[in-house]
Amino acid sequence: MKNKTVRIISAVIAATLVFSLLFAFVAEIVIYNRVDAAQTVSSLNSKLDSLASQKAKIQKELKAIKSKKQSTMTKKAALDQQIDVTEQEVDTINQLITALDVQVATVTAELNAAQAAEQKQTDDFLARVRIMEEEGTASMLGIILSADSFSDMLTRTELIGSIVEGDKKLMRELAETRAGIAEKKASLDSARAEQAAAKSNLVAKKNSLQSQYNEANALLKSLNTSAAEYEKAFNEAERAMDAARADLQKLLSNSSSSTYVGGEFRWPTKATRITSPYGTRKDPITKKSSMHTGIDIGASMGSEIYASNSGTVIVAGWSSKGYGNYVVVDHGGGKSTLYAHMSKIKTKKGAKVTKGDVIGLVGSTGYSTGPHLHFEILINGKHTNPMNYFKKQ
């Protein structure tokens, strides 16, 4: 009997020892998992923050590229128009030069004819004078003396004189004609030279416009390339954000291996006045319609914020997304609570808190217009109306 009793007691002790060891081991795993989850949540949150700022930077770059593209396209269009006008001007000048060339050719032919006529007259005259000189005055005298009357002789003398005079007059006229034509040709030549100079100026202008146009085109092409690169980076950041958000939601929904601690949530402040309910509302700062993911409780600056339920702190820090100083407590079973705009955080990530513990003080940090507590209840990482968990007064 005694031995049996001893044996039973020993067995109970052994079993108890084994159970308590096992329990301690399991408990350790649970704690380890919670701390790990808290670290991952915080690292995912900081990853989201950095991705968001990356996205904002990319957007800024894209905006700058877009405006540069716009101005380059405007410049390109203006250059295109200028090139068009210059081309039309060159066309007009080319027509003018062609017309002048025709006129110059006509005048040149006239001038050549006039010069030839003048030359011929000069040659004829010189030939006659030469003959007269060779035959000497005797011949002239002969002509005069062969007159059969005095009046005939006078006539013949006059005739010789008038022949010489006629020659002179004709040659003078020819020279005048030739000079007139030469003058006309000189003026046409200078007009043509003027148009040719204007044309070469226009061609130079057109070439410069064309090279500016080509530069604008190349700039546009490179802007398009970098815009495409930035868009790709933007999409990548967005995909990475989606992935991080999905990871975060998954973590928040099954981060705890323990079951929901149960019981009603505790009201997180002494103050009870709700200054802004959960749901769609007009944003107090942007005045645009937006989703209010929690309730705002009008508590005074520095008043205490209590853990709404027991659990593990998975976030305790600064949010660049507008929560300011905020805390998230994981209560297990996919439930967590979020407390935002704190003036001071009174807990640490990874800490175990009991319902009612002070985890922070009311403030107005982040996206806030005055001291209040923004309180959220998250189910599997998704916000829900916290008032579903409280008795309405």
Q: Which residues bind Zn ion (CB under 5 A)?
A: 296, 374
250-260 burial, b if ≥16 CB within 10 A, otherwise e? Answer: ebbbebbeeee
Residue number, 296 or 330, with CB nearest to Zn ion: 296
- Minimum separation from the CB atom of position 265 to Zn ion (A): 17
- Minimum separation from the CB atom of position 247 to Zn ion (A): 25
Distance (Å, whole) CA 226 – CA 214: 18
- Minimum separation from the CB atom of position 291 to Zn ion (A): 11
Residue number, 206 or 374, with CB nearest to Zn ion: 374
Comparing CA positions, the residue from 202, 201, 223, 211 lying closest to residue 70 is 223
Residue number, 314 or 373, with CB nearest to Zn ion: 373
- Minimum separation from the CB atom of position 345 to Zn ion (A): 17
Distance (Å, whole) CA 340 – CA 376: 9
Residue number, 125 or 389, with CB nearest to Zn ion: 389
Residue type, 234: F
Residue ranges of alpha helices (H) inside the chain are 2-145, 150-254
Residue number, 213 or 306, with CB nearest to Zn ion: 306
- Minimum separation from the CB atom of position 276 to Zn ion (A): 6
Residue number, 72 or 337, with CB nearest to Zn ion: 337
- Minimum separation from the CB atom of position 73 to Zn ion (A): 44
What tokens does 98 get?
A: 């062609």
Residue number, 76 or 341, with CB nearest to Zn ion: 341
Residue nearest to Zn ion (CB): 374
Residue number, 37 or 329, with CB nearest to Zn ion: 329
Comparing CA positions, the residue from 31, 16, 91 lying closest to residue 332 is 31
Comparing CA positions, the residue from 241, 296, 299 lying closest to residue 270 is 299
Residues 6+ positions from 318 with CB-CB distance below 8 Å: 324, 325, 326, 365
Angle at 180 (CA atoms; ends 178, 185), nearest 5 degrees: 95
Residue number, 230 or 326, with CB nearest to Zn ion: 326
- Minimum separation from the CB atom of position 368 to Zn ion (A): 8
Residue number, 76 or 374, with CB nearest to Zn ion: 374
Residues 6+ positions from 230 with CB-CB distance below 8 Å: 58, 61, 62, 65
- Minimum separation from the CB atom of position 349 to Zn ion (A): 22
Q: How many CA atoms lie within 13 A of 215 on its CB side?
A: 8
What tokens does 155 get?
A: 């006539």
C-alpha of 105 from chain center: 57
Distance (Å, whole) CA 200 – CA 304: 85
C-alpha of 347 from chain center: 46
- Minimum separation from the CB atom of position 285 to Zn ion (A): 11
Residue 346 carries which DSSP code?
-
- Minimum separation from the CB atom of position 335 to Zn ion (A): 19
Residues 6+ positions from 80 with CB-CB distance below 8 Å: 213
